[in-house]
Structure 1
Amino acid sequence: MSADAAAGPAPDWIARYLERLAAQRGYSAHTVAAYRRDLSAFSAFLDRHGRLLAEAGADDVRAFVAAEHRRGLSATTLKRRLSAVRGLYRFLQDEGVVEVHPAQDLRAPKGPRRLPETLDPEQMTSLLEHEDDGLLDMRDRALFELIYSSGLRLAEAVSLDLVGLDLASARVRVTGKGGKTRDLPVGRKACEALSDWLRVRGQLATAGEEAVFVGRRGTRLGARAVQARLRRRAVLAGLDTPVHPHMLRHAFASHLLESSGDLRAVQELLGHANISTTQIYTHLDFQHLAQVYDRAHPRARRRKVEDE
């Protein structure tokens, strides 16, 4: 198909592309609606500048992203809009509408990277050593000790089966993103809490249940229940910040990196495919150092007083 075939209204091609996303790629209605808004904005931009979809070049796409950036759109939205445009032009290439992909090598502007929320060692101690009261509290302590001890994702923790836990050698085997398996060390405190829980687990678990962590009904504990139990435990422990399970994984990474300085080891333990993902914890470590500096350095204290 030649470029002349795309001389009709651009929304026709956009509609066909969105139909393919929904029908063949299985995109959710929410994602398709977001892409529709993104591509409608791109189409309107081209119309304002007298450009057809099949005629647009890299400069046009770059100008569109820049205009949206000036409008104040977030880096996340800009990234999604550019992704929608890229996908549209891949579709047009497949259909023979265009030969050159105008957005292939373009990148959206980077926004400020949000640092993950975490807990300091004192807060972790308050959370984990809060007094247990019954089977569920024993289970919770074992679960949260394990997540913090080994840096588990919530999904890895709730999917853990008995066969994956080896307390004799203080190891746990989990399956993470992409089906990748990791063998991880388990700390002494976590081993003790897990041993206590496994001694009484049979009072809750149904016959044949393989999950390490079970709920009131004796079946595998769900992620939402873990989130609710952690919020409850944080309140009872007197923490004044909302706590969610991923904060325990963040605490594991930041505390380990702060003590060891071994970024590669932390990457392996977390199961990050790319070390750039792990490097965010170096920023957390710097924040801690900056706080220590501001508290302890004479010039820093003086500057703070003068600023007041």
Structure 2
Amino acid sequence: MQKDRLRELSKEFYRYLKNEKGVATNTQRAYEGDLDHFLKFVMTRPEDKVDHKTIRAYIQSIYRQVKKSSLSRKVSSIKAFFRFLKRKGYLSENPALIIKNPKIEKHLPKFYSVDEMFHFLDSLPAANWLDLRNLAIFELIYSTGMRASEALGLNLEDIHLEGLWVLVRGKGGKERVLPFGAKARDAILKYLSLAGEAGQGGRRALFINAQGDRLSYRGLLKIMKKHQIQAGLLKNLALHGIRHSFATHMLNGGADLRSIQELLGHSKLSTTQRYTHISIDKIMEIYDKAHPRR
């Protein structure tokens, strides 16, 4: 395919991701960044035709400049783009089909122990409605295992405090219903009550900032980092760490992998199985107690 035509079709691919596939905003941004970088490289090439050799040349040009995880993501974005072009009939053959993703080291998820998680939540201040909002969102994420982005995307009508359940929209626009506990319910009730008194009631978004707009991911990350330091927790956990803590604690508490998979919204069980490696100490403890000959 001619490279100018390829650039034109990239816009159609971006519209497909947003309107048909319904990918998350961050995922959309990653796809566009990866493909724009690839297309800039393509435009510098002397040949007009883009084939598997062009893709290999691009990979070689950035191989030593980026982390393997970033390289793997970029290759995946390129492969997804060419799959789209083949499926839409713009290509008779997919030149990216023979391109393999580089192997990357799989790191085990970081998480808090139960005591550390409780300490983090119990150490959060409750002086005003913004403090109560922080407590409510962290309690909800830990209680349900939802992604931080999913929690930030919640609207008031999604949360059902009497029934102790919440409707979550995950990756690809998939919906799932998640239960939550009394601690999360009480924290949300206190937050909504004080937010209403502060004149911030009636907003559609469940979690809002001081200006009344939906709280951003970056804003929540800054809040978490601040309170981690204040709580004296030395583990450098990102927001996803609370979700990892939920999954690990559920597994250690006896929940089966299939149930955890449903709660986390994983499409593949293999993604959830990462937590079995983390819980090997718990497995060994059960083995030592249960096996008759050891």
Q: TM-score, normalised by structure 2?
A: 0.72
What is the distance in 2 between the residues matched to 1:114 and 1:88? 29
Does the 8 Å contact 1:14/1:88 carry over to 2? no
Runs of 4+ in 1 over 4 A off after TM superposition: 85-96, 99-103, 288-293
The alpha carbon displacement at 1:138 in A equals 1.8
Q: Which one of 161, 175, 186 corresponds to residue 167 of structure 1?
A: 161
Percent identical pairs in the alignment equals 30
1:1-308 map, 5 Å: 13-21=2-10, 23-26=11-14, 28=32, 31-37=35-41, 74=68, 76-77=70-71, 80-81=74-75, 84=78, 100-101=93-94, 103-104=96-97, 107-135=100-128, 136-286=130-280, 288-289=281-282
Aligned partners of 2:135, 2:82: CA distance in 1, in Å?
49
8 Å Cα contact 1:90-1:101 kept in structure 2: no
> Which ranges in structure 1 are unaligned for 5 or more consecutive residues?
1-5, 7-12, 294-308
Distance apart, 1:266 and its partner CA: 0.5
Contact 1:123 1:239 in 2 (8 A): yes
Contact 1:18-1:36 within 8 A present in 2 as well: no
Task: Report how far residue 30 of structure 1 moved.
Answer: 5.5
What root-mean-square deviation, in Å, do the aligned CA atoms of Structure 1 and Structure 2 show? 3.8
Q: Shift in Å at residue 290 of structure 1?
A: 9.1
From the superposition, tell whether residues 25 and 200 of structure 1 become closer, same or farther in structure 2 (CA, over 3 Å).
same
> Match of 1:230, as an amino acid?
M
Q: Secondary structure at the match of 2:218?
A: helix
Residues 204 and 91 from structure 1, CA distance in 2 versus in 1: closer, same or farther, beyond 3 angstroms? Answer: same
How many aligned positions are there?
263
Q: Report the more deviating stretch, 85-94 or 150-159.
A: 85-94
In the TM superposition, what is the alpha-carbon distance from 1:126 to its structure 2 partner?
Answer: 1.3
Show CA shifts across 1:3-40 (max 9, x none). xxx9xxxxxx345423432x433474653223554x69
**Partners of 1:148 and 1:289 in 2: how far apart?**
20
Q: CA deviation at 1:205?
A: 4.6
Residues of 2 paired with 1:289 and 1:239: CA distance? 23
- Aligned-partner residue type, residue 260 of structure 2: V
**Aligned residue identity for 1:262:** D
Deviation of 1:124 after TM superposition, in Å, equals 0.7
Letter in structure 1 aligned against 2:6? Y
CA offset at residue 82 of structure 1?
Answer: 7.3
Q: Partner amino acid for 2:244? A: H
Q: CA deviation at 1:261?
A: 4.5
Task: List per-residue Cα deviations over 1:165-185 (Å, max 9, x = no partner).
Answer: 222222122222222221111
1:142 is paired with a residue whose SS is: helix
Q: Does structure 1 conserve the Cα–Cα contact (< 8 Å) formed by 2:132 and 2:191?
A: yes
Contact 1:204 1:215 (8 Å CA) reproduced: no
SS in 2 for 1:172: strand
Secondary structure, aligned partner of 1:25: helix
Please say if residues 35 and 84 of structure 1, whose CA atoms lie closer than 8 Å, have aligned partners that are also in contact: no
Contact 1:272 1:278 in 2 (8 A): yes
SS of residue paired to 2:190: helix
- The structure whose Rg is larger is 1
Deviation of 1:265 after TM superposition, in Å, equals 0.4
Please give the TM-score of this superposition, normalised by the length of structure 1: 0.69
Q: How far apart, in 1, do the equivalents of 2:243 and 2:172 lie?
A: 19
Instruction: Measure, in 1, the Cα distance between the counterparts of 2:181 and 2:100.
Output: 42
Shift of 1:161: 2.1
Question: 1:159 offset after TM fit, Å?
Answer: 2.1
CA distance in 2, matches of 1:82, 1:144: 32
Q: What letter matches 2:37 in structure 1?
A: A
Query: CA separation in 1, counterparts of 2:84 and 2:164?
Result: 49
- Unpaired stretches in structure 2, ≥5 consecutive residues: 15-30, 287-294
1:188-216, Cα deviation, whole Å (9 max, x unpaired): 22222223223322123535313322222
Q: Name the counterpart of 2:292.
A: none
